[in-house]
Structure 1
Amino acid sequence: MTLAKLFIPLGMCLALAPPGASSGELLSVVNDALVHDAELSAANSEIAIGREEVPIARAALLPRLDGGWGRTYNQIKTDNQPTTRYWQNGWMITLTQPVFDWERWVALRQADIASAKAELEYASAWQALVLRSANAYFDLLAAAQEQSRASDYLSAVSEQHALTVKLQAGGEATLIDVQEARSRLSEAQLRQQDALRNLDSRRRVLETLTGRDVTPPAKINLSRTKPWLKARSLQQWVRQAETSSYSVQLGKLEVRNASEDSEKARAQRYPVINLSASHAPSGAAAGYSEPTTTNSAMLTISAPLFTGGANRARLRQTLAEEEKAENRLLGATRKSTADTREWFQRFNWARDRSQALSEIVRLNASSLAATRKGYQAGSRTNLDVLRAQEVLFASRGEQAKANYEMLSAFLALKAEVASLNLGDIQLLDDWLTADASTS
């Protein structure tokens, strides 16, 4: 895979991040998290760091020009002649040009890999933050719905308790009925307190991610599904995960880098050819010596003759590192494939479960209505009504849980194949907003 192809996911992420676009709270939450997160900003800085590796490595292959100035003390002793002593000033320019150094050429290729790795790591961190903030928002919505259901349940139990007390006063209900209603009332109050605490906790999590307080919408309806939520065939997802997953792409870069390390180890055996030239004029020194100018040019060839086995050991070491990188790539591919299959199954399971629970909720609501009529007619007991209320409350909670699991699994599935972007968040946001307006 070429490095240009590796950069495509990041380009998609950045291109699909419209500034200021917000049709609903979900997209706003994700955008705020992307701006607020310090770790993502650090990863963005790593891109700038990685990009500079290429010009640094390239500079090692280009000519180098050095200049300097110095003051020299000279003492000349000649037999049967007086000793000559003098100071001399001079400057020098040196030009050095590598002619052949294979290790530096390999380092240039590795710098390109380092730059690509920084881009991929940022894209992976960007996508992980989008997924984390979206899930945190779903958790907030679920907590808000749970608190709403707990309040509705408390109201229903309170009404049943009040009715039971009234019937008991008229001799139509027993003391046991009143005690059962009071027990359920206490339990409903405790549930409401737990729901409020959970809602507050979820709001704090989102506040940490976004840097602001996020208020859930007053009403959310997830009773319908859009066609775009239908996943493709499993094999399509798996094939995409095997090639596009960020862990797989990073693993491929590690294999390439390890291969280049092996090439650098082999380059230790090759000769190194350098060309150098210098120009060094020196001034006269108070009449003791005439000005002199030294020009030199030299072509040097150096090659290792004996290193005590270090080069062979280094090559064996890099070959082992290359094998290690290949095994890690294989492990990353297998894990990505397994995770993709898991999220695909979770999405379909949650979708089917949501549809089934929708019918169960409808039936439980009808059952509660019938039980209440039966209680008023004397054919059902107070405990029957309380149990029917409990069953309806629990089934509504399970349905909401399945809905959010479906949305979360879909985003996780997209993330596993490195295709999650703000376009998906926008679709979900529009869907949630439309549902809220029609609920």
Structure 2
Amino acid sequence: MKLNTVNKSATKPNQKKMVLAIAIALASSTASFSSLAADPTDQKVVATANATSTQESDLLTLYRQAALSDPVFNSAKYNYIAGKEKLWQGFSVLTPQVTAVGSETKNNLTRKGETEVPLKSRAWSVRLTQPLFNWDKWEQFRQGDLATSIAEAQYAAAEQDLVLRVTEAYFNVLNAQDTLNLSRNKKTLIKEQLEQAKRNFEVGTATITDTHEAQSRYDLVVAQELAAEADLLIKRSALEQLTGSNIGNLKSLSSQAKIEIIAKERKIKLKNNQKPSKINIENAVAVQPNQDIQGWIKQAEDVSYTIIASKLAYEIAQKDTNRAIAGHAPSIDLIAQRGYNDSESGGIGVNYRAYSSQASIQVTIPLFSGGYTQSVVREKSALASKALADYENTRRSVAQATRQAYLGFTSGLAQVKAYEAAEISALSALDSNKLGYEVGVRINIDVLNAQDTLFTTRRDLAKSRYDTILNGLKLKAQASVLSDEDLQAVNALLK
């Protein structure tokens, strides 16, 4: 959407489209994730959460825990609950306002040279005011409707953000575990190579250089192991911060996992009651012409929760300007009142009782406010321009994030395949160097270098798998099509 296409004449149609998009998006997202984010009062869920420290946890289990205890998500949930009240608050200003006032007064009346005379009076009144024409209140009502829609979009975005944060933290732990395990395996093999180098030196078949090189590699891998242990503790604590409890052992990603399934089906949001179409993205080199990156960017720009919220915030800012302009406009109210008044005097015997009823149409016309109204109009107009600039920045940011996620996923698929091939080659190279070292055509450092290559390749392969899956989820989140099915698909890759 170009900037110059966002104007007052397009506000009402655009608003309807935005609200429709939110309703559709929430119907997909809220209904989907509600099956995973369980009710906090569910005793079974609480029992499951308490038992996770004694058994292996998977991604779905930890997501359910995070949905109950993550402060960021809980903040978004209560913000949504509070935001829904904006609709009723905006509607209330158009409904009748009824007030009742009652009073009782006691006076002592004294004239010069006379005795004190007590005087009592009582009164009550009920007043109803119904706005007939008030531009300011009408715009306030429409703002309440838009504010509720913003709360809904922000909550839907928070649901998807929780999926991404839990998945990323989960994979960070797995990656740290892989790094630690590889360091330990590497230390074991290097230790064996060091002992063999020492034996060969003792019998005179190798030089002291081989022993020193192996010792140097061994000392280095010990330091790497210590760093990996510390990093694992940090990554686990980050995941526990989301779940609010001990995470226990985690299921790892299967080495035979088919990562392509994570973004295989791109679901298009319903528009005008049309059925969603499915687009397959198999891998980085087999993308159909109508399934390119621009299609994902267009999808994100149309229904991204972040963009919807920003667009609605701009419309609210426009209505703030309208409310300021309404300070110059007249207002018309219907006023109906019923009252009662009585008074009595104990000394002079005067009693008075009366009921009164009245109805009127009141017209209020602002004439002069010392320049305050004009100043507010200029202020709100500038804030509306700011909101429009923020909307454009959000649109561009979402487009860039979608582009990065798409390229990260598609290139990640190719990297995984390349690393899988490189792992096979590195393993063959290690076996060859070991055999060559035994027959005397290779030296010890050749074997150590081959081991380093194999372990580095395996570490990079594991990380590439995690990054590819995460980018696939981010891509769907930007296009507002991330659902519990995607989380279950990722969970199915764990073992």
| TM-score of the two chains, using structure 2 as the length reference | 0.81
Q: Distance in 1 between matches of 2:95 and 2:181?
A: 69
- 1:11 alignment partner in structure 2: 27
Structure 1 contact 206–213 (Cα < 8 Å) conserved: no
- 1:279 alignment partner in structure 2: 338
Structure 1 contact 71–88 (Cα < 8 Å) conserved: yes
Q: C-alpha displacement at 1:74, in angstroms?
A: 6.9
Q: C-alpha displacement at 1:166, in angstroms?
A: 1.9
Q: C-alpha displacement at 1:57, in angstroms?
A: 2.5
The within-5 A match list for 1:111-190 is 111-190=144-223
Q: C-alpha displacement at 1:41, in angstroms?
A: 1.5
Structure 2 contact 57–249 (Cα < 8 Å) conserved: no
Q: Distance in 2 between matches of 1:43 and 1:118?
A: 9
Number of matched residues?
A: 431
Comparing 129-138 with 322-331, greater Cα deviation is found at: 322-331
**For the structure 1 residues 208 and 70, does the alpha-carbon distance in structure 2 shift closer, same or farther, using more than 3 Å as the test?**
same
**Are residues 1:267 and 2:300 paired?**
no
Q: Distance in 1 between matches of 2:164 and 2:358?
A: 64
**Are residues 1:314 and 2:376 paired?**
yes
**For the structure 1 residues 73 and 225, does the alpha-carbon distance in structure 2 shift closer, same or farther, using more than 3 Å as the test?**
same
Structure 2 contact 252–494 (Cα < 8 Å) conserved: no
**For the structure 1 residues 171 and 387, does the alpha-carbon distance in structure 2 shift closer, same or farther, using more than 3 Å as the test?**
same
Out of 240, 256, 260, the position equivalent to 1:207 is 240
Q: Distance in 2 between matches of 1:427 and 1:414?
A: 13
The amino acid of 1:381's aligned partner reads I
Out of 68, 79, 85, the position equivalent to 1:52 is 85
Q: Distance in 2 between matches of 1:136 and 1:197?
A: 16
Out of 368, 373, 377, the position equivalent to 2:439 is 377
* Structure 1 SS opposite 2:494: helix
State the identity %.
Answer: 28
- 2:398 alignment partner in structure 1: 336
Compute the RMSD of aligned alpha carbons: 2.6
The amino acid of 1:237's aligned partner reads W
* Structure 1 SS opposite 2:204: coil
Deviations 1:148-199 (A, max 9, x none): 1112111111111122222222221222212222222222222222222221
Q: Distance in 2 between matches of 1:242 and 1:35?
A: 31
- 1:436 alignment partner in structure 2: none
| Structure 1, gaps ≥5 residues long | 434-439
Q: C-alpha displacement at 1:216, in angstroms?
A: 4.1
The within-5 A match list for 1:351-370 is 351-370=413-432
Structure 1 contact 86–288 (Cα < 8 Å) conserved: no
Q: Distance in 2 between matches of 1:402 and 1:77?
A: 97
Q: Distance in 1 between matches of 2:109 and 2:135?
A: 45
The amino acid of 1:328's aligned partner reads D
* Structure 2 SS opposite 1:16: helix
Q: C-alpha displacement at 1:404, in angstroms?
A: 1.4
Structure 1 contact 99–275 (Cα < 8 Å) conserved: yes
Structure 2 contact 66–242 (Cα < 8 Å) conserved: yes
Q: Distance in 2 between matches of 1:5 and 1:340?
A: 19
Out of 473, 477, 482, the position equivalent to 1:415 is 477
Q: Distance in 2 between matches of 1:209 and 1:24?
A: 14
- After TM superposition, the runs of 4+ consecutive aligned structure 1 residues lying more than 6 A away are 20-24, 74-78, 82-85
| Structure 2, gaps ≥5 residues long | 1-16, 39-44, 49-55, 265-280, 282-290
Q: Distance in 1 between matches of 2:353 and 2:257?
A: 94
Deviations 1:385-434 (A, max 9, x none): 1111111111111111211111121122222222223221110000223x
Q: Distance in 2 between matches of 1:220 and 1:55?
A: 48
Out of 285, 300, 308, the position equivalent to 2:362 is 300
Q: Distance in 2 between matches of 1:219 and 1:59?
A: 54
Q: Distance in 2 between matches of 1:167 and 1:253?
A: 76
